[in-house]
Each structure stands twice: as structure tokens, then as C-alpha cells.
Amino acid sequence: MSEHQVRPSVDQPTPTARAQTLPLQGLVNVVIRGILRVPLLSRVVGKRLITVYVVGRKSGRHYAVPVAYTSHDGALLVGSQFAWARNLRSGDRAPIRLVGARRSADVQVLTDAAGVVAHLGLMARDNHQFAKFNKIGFDQHGEPLPDDLRRAWVAGTRVLILTPR
């Protein structure tokens, strides 16, 4: 390694692959956002999904992103490796739509290996669809595979801890 090359840190993810999306993801997001705005429908769908509203730090572009969440200790855990999540910082306050109601949430962002892996494990145990989407498998005892959790972190997944107000 030359003196100008930087050795990757063991504690910093090095994204290796672009996050996977579903075919027609944009259309799916429009439909889900609409459902999450309807009070009766959002009570059913909103048990696993919220909308997070984010403004791009550089572009100023507004994003309304429906995402899966897990409730844990009075907060909502969201895991994402998509670019929109990099616009949120710990200490920020972000608008969310939770069970049909728009409200504010305090944001804490986890990017360190230990924090991301531990919280992704909680989310995978709670929501097997989330685990499948993020390619997290399970062992014979129903525990998320540690290598899969770490691979998600290496691919750039961060965990957002959103505390509704």
C-alpha cells in the first residue's frame, strides 16, 4: 500500500453493492404513501410501515419514503442503505407519518458496526420480511446470521432510531 492510499478502517463500512429495489419501486412507494395517509387503512398497514420525510442536504429535494420499522423501547428502528437516509443526522428532528398521523420524531443515527449489527438483529427477529429484503438469513434457532448482519453494515446500512414526539 503506498503512502497516499488509505487503508479502510475496520469500523467504517465500505459500500460494496447498490441497495436492491423492487421492480416499479416508485409506483409501489406512491401507493403505500397514499395508504399510510388514510386513517383506517394506516392502522393495518402502519403496524409495520411509516413514512419518513427528508430534505436533501445538498439538493434541497424533498423525499417522502415509506419504510419498515420495528418498535423498540419507545422508539422506531429503521434500517436503510439508501441515499435518502444519509440526509439525517443524530440530533435532527424529522417529520414522520405514523398510523395516519403526521408528527415529529427525534433522530439518532447509528453507523458503527456494533450498533448497526445489534439493531439490525432486533429488526430481523421482529420482521422476517425486512430480513428477507436485506438478505439476512436465520440459523436453526431462529437467530439472524451474524455474517449477514455484518454484510448489511458493510454494504452501507445505517440504523435510524426515531423517537416520536
Determine the pLDDT at residue 9: 45
Domain residue limits, the chain? 25-164
Residues 6+ apart with CB under 8 A from 121: 143, 144, 149
CATH topology of domain 25-164: Pnp Oxidase; Chain A (2.30.110)
User: Tell me: the pLDDT tens digits for 70-88?
Assistant: 999 999 999 999 999 999 9
Question: On the CB side of 18, how many CA atoms lie within 13 Å of its CA?
Answer: 3
CB atoms within 10 A of CB 40: 7
Listed residue (30, 124, 4) closest to 72, CA to CA = 124
Flag whether pLDDT at 19 surpasses 90: no
